[in-house]
Structure 1
Amino acid sequence: MFQDRTDAGRQLAAQLQKLPLENVVVLAIPRGGLPLGAIVAKTLNAPLDVALSKKIGHPFNKEYAIGAVSMDDIILNDIPTIDKTYIREETERIREKLRKRYDQYYQNFAPLNLKGKTVIIVDDGVATGNTIKLTAQMVHKSQPLQTIVAIPVAPRGAVKNMESSNYIDEVICLKSPDNFYAVGQFYREFGEVSDQEAIQILEASRKMSSS
Structure 2
Amino acid sequence: MPWNRPAGRGARRAATVRLPYTDRSEAGRVLAARLATMGLDGAVVLALPRGGVPVGYEIARHLEATLDVLVTRKIGYPPQPELGVGAIAEGGAPVFDEGLLARLGLRADDLAPTVEAERAELDRRVTAYRRGRPLPPVAGRPVIVVDDGLATGGTARAAVRAVRGRGPSRLVLAVPVGAAETVRSLEAEVDDLVVPVAPWDFQAVGQWYRDFGQLGDADVTAWLERAGRPGGGPADGPAEPGRA
| Cα distance in 2 between the residues matched to 1:179 and 1:35 | 25
| Ranges in structure 1 where 5+ consecutive residues have no aligned partner | none
Specify the code of the residue in structure 1 equivalent to 2:165.
K
TM-score by length of 2: 0.78
Percent sequence identity over matched residues?
A: 33
**CA distance in 2: counterparts of 1:153 and 1:23, whole angstroms:** 25
Q: Bigger shift: 141-150 or 62-71?
A: 62-71
Residue 18 of structure 1 and its aligned partner are, at CA, apart by 1.6
Q: CA deviation at 1:53?
A: 2.4
SS at structure 2 position matched to 1:152:
coil
Distance (Å, rounded) in 2 between the aligned partners of 1:151 and 1:120: 10
Change (3 A) 1:31 1:137: same
- Asked if the contact 2:95–2:157 (Cα under 8 Å) also holds between the matched residues in 1, the reply is no
Aligned equivalent of 1:51:
70
1:70-126 deviation digits (Å, cap 9, x = unpaired) = 445423334463255641111111111112111111226332111111110111101
Give the gaps of 5 or more residues in structure 2. 1-19, 234-244
Which of 175, 194, 207 matches 1:172?
194
AA aligned to 2:66 is P
Deviation at 1:52, TM superposition (A): 1.7
Distance between the aligned counterparts of 1:3 and 1:83, measured in 2?
41
Give, in angstroms, the shift of residue 19 of structure 1: 1.1
Q: TM-score, normalised by structure 1?
A: 0.90
Q: Provide the C-alpha distance between the structure 1 equivalents of 2:68 and 2:229, rounded to a whole number of angstroms.
A: 12
* Alignment deviations for residues 169-197 of structure 1 (CA, whole Å, 9 cap, x no partner): 11100111221110000101100111101
- Aligned pairs for 1:84-163 within 5 A: 86-107=110-131, 109-163=133-187
RMSD of aligned alpha carbons:
2.1
Give 1:190's aligned amino acid. F
Contact 1:130 1:161 in 2 (8 A): no
Counterpart-to-counterpart distance in 1, 2:203 and 2:220: 25
Aligned to 1:68: 87
Q: Aligned partners of 1:28, 1:99: CA distance in 2, in Å?
A: 16
Report if aligned partners of 2:92, 2:158 keep a CA contact under 8 Å in 1: no
Higher strand share: 1
Corresponding residue SS for 1:190: coil
More divergent stretch after superposition (125-134 vs 28-37): 125-134
Residue-pair matches, total:
209
2: CA distance between counterparts of 1:154 and 1:5? 14
- Cα distance in 2 between the residues matched to 1:159 and 1:187: 18
Does the aligned pair in 1 maintain the 2:157–2:186 contact within 8 Å? yes
Q: Residues 173, 125 of structure 1: CA spacing in aligned structure 2 closer, same or farther, 3 A cutoff?
A: same
